[in-house]
Amino acid sequence: MRGIFSIVGLLVTLAIIGLLVKKQLGTQVAVPATPGVPAVSADAPPQVRSQQAQQQVKQAVEGALQQARPMPDEK
């Protein structure tokens, strides 16, 4: 009896995890286009999409590095 409950518990847990994974994979997050980088259609080859993503990340990092950090107030 104990073994049956263990197996049923595992199956219920597996089903819940499967539903969560399906839900997460079903939602796609659209990455906003970075100004200056042309948008690439969804049917573009993976290499082109990869290069665009790399350019967007590079530009975001460079933009973050260009921002001045606020100086702490000395007391």
31, part of any domain:
no
The answer to whether the CB of 15 falls within 8 A of the CB of 37 is: no
74, part of any domain:
no
pLDDT, tens only, 18-61: 999 998 888 655 555 556 556 666 777 888 888 988 999 999 99
pTM equals 0.38
**DSSP string of 28-55, one letter each residue:** -PPPPPPTTS----TTS-HHHHHHHHHH
The answer to whether the CB of 58 falls within 8 A of the CB of 36 is: no
Q: Domain span at residue 56?
A: 2-25+40-66
Chain-centroid distance, C-alpha 41:
19
Measure the CA–CA gap between 4 and 11, rounded to whole angstroms. 11
The total of structural domains in the chain comes to 1
